Structure 1
Amino acid sequence: MIKIILPILIILFDQLTKFIVERYLYFKQIAVIDNILLLTYVQNRGGAWGIFNNIPFLFIVLVPIVVVGLFWYMSKSKNRLEIISVCMIIGGALGNYIDRLIRGYVVDFIDFRIWPVFNVADIFVVVGGILLILSAILVKKDGK
């Protein structure tokens, strides 16, 4: 059940934050912590750091393939950390995928000034990826 519910909750949370940002922060900037953390509305038409800006269809095609692969991978797993990690990646990936389908771009808004602007979905993808690597290391360590 968690394999379906967790990605859905992540998608809903991500889309809610983007709705609020588009409604109240459209092309504006708010300093949360002066010169450290800002909320900055950005339309990202590419991937991370704006790469593949000129080929948005790449994400439209690849994301569903990757998500199906992740669901398959998760269906084989009995490791709770691995399952949660993959759910986080799927939820984040689909949150940004929905943006691309509906808006034609991804809404980014978390701005640390020294790093490209990102969003909640990106956080889940990155943290999920880190936890998945950690899970693999722990499983390998326990297997020795």
Structure 2
Amino acid sequence: MPSERVAFRAVPPLDHELESRRRAPATALGTVAQEQLDRWFGFLAAQLKTVRLSRGQALCLCDVLGSTLIDALWLLNPGQLLAAEIEDAAEDGYGEKWDIDTDELAALCASWNPGQGLAVVDAVRRFRLAPGDDFDASLVQVGLARHRDPL
């Protein structure tokens, strides 16, 4: 069964970005958009596979980022911004809550390249939108944990 149809109006600067990626004049901009989204989601998945988090670290990030405004500034240096959020959360007892070393998690976040940081932010957002309350299954589903990892 085909998925739901998605339609949007490409307004500046998106229309120019899509146009600059059109292979041929006859290629629909919707096709270009789909190709770009496929590439972006593939990139995020590949980056997320390079990130290793404990269960507590992953859940701490999901908890902390639940009340964090993620805007365009996060594109520049997401690892440093994640680290700052964890440092702030340490003062509120998140390390004890999730039984983790927040200094270690902040240092890990700060070490990530932008792709890894954005992949984690994306996975956290998908975790927070996941239905149900099986946190372990949701962590695996969004890629913050792996089946082989002890949860």
**Could you tell me the TM-score, scaled by structure 2's length?**
0.29
Larger radius of gyration: 2
Using CA pairs under 8 Å that are at least 6 residues apart, name the structure with larger relative contact order, 1 or 2. Answer: 1
TM value normalised by structure 1? 0.30
